A and B are shown apart, each in its own frame.
Chain A
Amino acid sequence: MSLLSPPLRWLAFFACLAATPPLLRLFGVDGGGAVQIGALNDIGIYLILALSLNIILGYAGLFHMGHTAFFAVGAYASAILNTSHGWPILQTMPVAGLLAAFFALLVAGPIIRLRGDYLLVVTIGVVEIVRIVLLNNVFDLTGGANGISGISRAEIFGLRLTTPADLFYLIWAFAGLTVILCSLLENSRFGRALKYIKQDEVAAAGCGINISLYKIQAFVLGAFWAGMAGTLLAVKMRLVDPESFTFSQSVMLFAIVILGGSGSIAGVVLGSFLLIGLQEIFRDFSQARMLAFGAAMVIMMVFRPQGLIPARRRRYDLRGLTGVFPRALGRRGGAEGT
């Protein structure tokens, strides 16, 4: 069906992306394509967030609609460390991730046993609590409604990242790394365990999987990555404020994963481009946009609930393992109904 093997397809995809800024400049797009590149940067950050949510929602099947809470913790951690303590912004990234992960661990303990809809409601509560805490300047750290401004520019090896194109390469390199790590995770004992839990918890426990432990690990890992995406937001905006972390963004992330294809990396990439990209393109029609968005959701859930690019069953390398083992019975296969 396709000409390229999956790794090559990803390589081609990222190569095309990397060529975009010079091409925009070459064809003399207004302002060197700053607007278009800015939109791609937004898509990149959302893609990283959506992939981290995919670990929790797509693989483990936990209905988590509060992912922006972890994004916010990471972004504020970076902003505070940079503006008040003078840390170079990119060096705050691991700390931002760890703080978000720690926050997730605190939250996850009591709620991880909740099922489906109950978990959904609680996680919505978490994202609201975080936003209101930020807004009310609790601990006198977050700057209230104004947020924190004056974040310094990022530097890599003495190179200052100033233009949108500079940020583009930073963000999309991180997005590429995220894609690689997610696909390694997906095809491992850890990733399989999450998928078993999603399909049937009782059967998964019966296979020796510690359900709560795996759910918490998925939650904390997803939060860690979202926290690091928060640093990228701080780098890009050079300002963080509570309005960047609203409930509607959590819903948007949730929709990217579900519409794109739960548990499917390619699906999440497509979902990010469609939902965030189209949002940029139709910025002038913001009212009609939500209408179209809602209609698309309904149509998708009715006709293609598994998402635009559903997760595929993994193929295993079985060389030397077929037809060699003894059978207790005859072969049982061949023709049968359904």
Chain B
Amino acid sequence: MSLLALRNLFKTFSGLVAVAGISLEVEEKAIVGLIGPNGAGKTTVFNLITGNSRPDSGEIIFDRRPITGLPTHSIVRLGIARTFQNIRLFQEMSVLENVLSGCHCRMRAGLFSSLFRPPSQRREERAAVERAMRELAFAGLDERHADPAGSLSYGNQRLLEIARALASDPRFLILDEPAGGMNDQETADLMGLIAAIQARGVTVLLIEHDMNLVMKICDKVIVLEYGAVIAEGTPAQVKGNPQVIDAYLGSDG
């Protein structure tokens, strides 16, 4: 049974076709890579899944229920979390507060319990801080909890985004170029982290240009070109596919 299914999704931006009838499935607890040349529509697919933009037509099914057109905050609550290609941390806030934002959707305190601090609010707050510290330790960033997020190195900021996403207790994690801007050592660490996330039972869908990473950790690879799926299968199957080689290297015509 697949956890996420896209059925015939279309999305155009003022006449430009970004996503042209994509259908795909992501099996539960798998690591799936979405690859393709620049402009193939990968990030647009991510934005459609997370509700950052709405498809013109087609359907998105998560855990057997349609989520097409739901607002982003509702989708997060259902268990889909993401990171961003161009890192979007709360730069001036502390590392810990960044991760606490992920806990927001699992908390209940509203305006009045914020003001009057009943015991339930204090317990919830404590539990959220604990969860945030747990995720920070998981990503190896717990010692930096008090620093402003903007002071972290590029690679660590990517890890902090992952920790923030994990704090929302997702079943499905979407990573948009997680290794972007990382050196070889950081990328190797990242691969270990993604494997550990899978071991927690979280399904991972990722966009990545680092083919070494994709081929090593993905259970399945889906290749996009011009907003459509041109190939899918295991890393080995995709690597040998002539259409894929063509899309990446270009044909000599």
Contact = CB atoms under 8 A, between A and B. Distances in A.
> Range of interface residues on chain B?
35 or more
Given A185-B115, A206-B76, A326 B138 contact: yes
B105 A207 contact: yes
Interface string B75-107: 011000110100011111110110011101101
Nearest to A310: B92
B137 A332 contact: no
A31 interface: no
Nearest to A180: B115
Given A199-B92, A326-B137, A185 B105 contact: no
Contacts of A337: 153
A265 interface: no
Nearest to B47: A202
A168 B6 CA distance: 65
A188 interface: yes
Most buried by B among A184, A207, A314, A315: A207
Contacts of B89: 200, 203
Contact of A190 (B102, B105, B114, B136): B114
A328 B168 contact: no
B115 A184 contact: yes
A48 to B, nearest CB: 16
Contacts of A85: none
Report whether over half of chain A's contact residues are helix, strand or loop; otherwise say mixed.
loop
A327 B110 contact: no
B104 A325 contact: no
Interface string A315-337: 11110011111111111111011
A190 B52 CA distance: 23
A313 B93 contact: yes
Contacts of A195: 90, 93
B8 interface: no
A195 B92 CA distance: 10
A196 interface: yes
Given A191-B114, A208-B168, A211-B73, A203 B104 contact: no
A189 interface: yes
Contacts of B201: none
A322 B93 contact: no
Nearest to A211: B73
B125 interface: yes
Interface stretch (B25-33, B188-196, B203-211): B188-196
A217 B159 CA distance: 32
Nearest to A217: B111
B21 interface: no
Contacts of A202: 52, 84, 88
A21 B111 CA distance: 36
Given A328-B193, A333-B143, A196 B101 contact: yes
A192 B146 contact: no
Interface stretch (B126-134, B218-226, B245-253): B126-134
B73 A329 contact: no
Most buried by A among B109, B115, B125, B164: B115
B245 to A, nearest CB: 34
Nearest to B102: A207
A84 B105 CA distance: 48
Contact of A210 (B52, B71, B196): B71
A181 B104 CA distance: 21
Contacts of A119: none
Interface string B157-180: 001000010001000000000000
B214 interface: no
Contact of B139 (A314, A329, A338): A329
A216 to B, nearest CB: 11
A204 B129 contact: no
A318 B104 contact: no
Contacts of B50: 206
A184 B197 CA distance: 36
A232 interface: no
A199 B91 contact: yes
A194 to B, nearest CB: 11
A323 B196 contact: no
Nearest to B105: A208
A203 B164 CA distance: 10
B23 interface: no
B110 A200 contact: no
Given A185-B115, A209-B101, A331-B143, A321 B130 contact: yes
Given A192-B97, A327-B140, A321 B129 contact: yes
B64 interface: no
Contact of B192 (A184, A314, A324, A329): A329
B151 interface: yes
A323 B155 CA distance: 22
Q: 7 shortest A-B CB distances, which residue pairs?
A: A208-B105, A188-B114, A325-B137, A208-B76, A328-B196, A329-B140, A332-B140
Interface of B: 50, 52, 71-73, 76-77, 81-82, 84, 88-94, 96-97, 100-102, 104-105, 107, 109-111, 114-115, 117, 121, 124-125, 128-130, 133-134, 136-146, 148, 151-153, 155-156, 159, 164, 168, 189, 192-193, 196-197
Given A314-B97, A325-B137, A328-B193, 11 more contacts: A185-B115, A189-B124, A195-B90, A200-B88, A204-B101, A206-B76, A313-B92, A321-B129, A321-B130, A328-B192, A329-B193
